[in-house]
């Protein structure tokens, strides 16, 4: 549900969605998109409660390293060179039927 809302959010902002749930070796990237000339690798975290922290708090150093390796796999498999890339995080906080989205571009 959170990823669907994140895709809608990015599409409304003018991003082109290139892939969802891209897998390479042991890693996965939730959304790969294009924002103008930049290739954007997006990690989406969704939470119903902040009892154990906010959604964005769940993007650990280990997860960041895994995302970087998976992004390198995407670039290699698709023979992409010399393109600006960045990593974004989208936090989706569910509150009953309502939700809040926080978008961190250039998150790491």
Q: What total of structural domains would you count in the chain?
A: 1
CATH number at 58 reads: 3.40.1350.10
Res. 69: pLDDT tops 90 = yes
Res. 1: pLDDT tops 90 = no
Q: What is the helix (H) or strand (E) element at residue 32, kind and residue range?
A: strand 27-35
CB-count exposure of residue 84 (10 Å: 0-12, 13-18, 19+): exposed
Q: Is 91 helix (H, G, I), strand (E, B) or coil?
A: strand
Res. 51: pLDDT tops 90 = no
Domain range enclosing 83:
2-104
Question: Using 50, 70 and 90 to split pLDDT, how confident is the model at 99?
Answer: very high
What backbone torsions phi and psi does residue 102 show, to the nearest 5 degrees?
-120, 125
Per-residue pLDDT reduced to its tens digit, 24-47: 999 999 999 999 999 999 999 999
* HSE (side-chain half, CA atoms, 13 Å) at 10: 33
């Amino acid at each position: 549900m959170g990823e669907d809302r994140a895709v809608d959010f990015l599409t409304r902002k003018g991003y082109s969605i290139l892939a969802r749930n891209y897998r390479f070796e042991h890693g996965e990237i939730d959304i790969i998109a294009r924002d103008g000339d930049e290739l954007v690798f997006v990690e989406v975290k969704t939470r119903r409660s902040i009892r154990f922290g906010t959604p964005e708090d769940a993007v650990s150093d280990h997860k960041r390293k895994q995302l970087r390796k998976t992004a390198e796999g995407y670039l290699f498999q698709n023979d992409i060179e010399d393109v600006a890339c960045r990593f974004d995080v989208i936090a989706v906080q569910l509150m009953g039927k309502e939700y809040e989205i926080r978008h961190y571009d250039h998150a790491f």
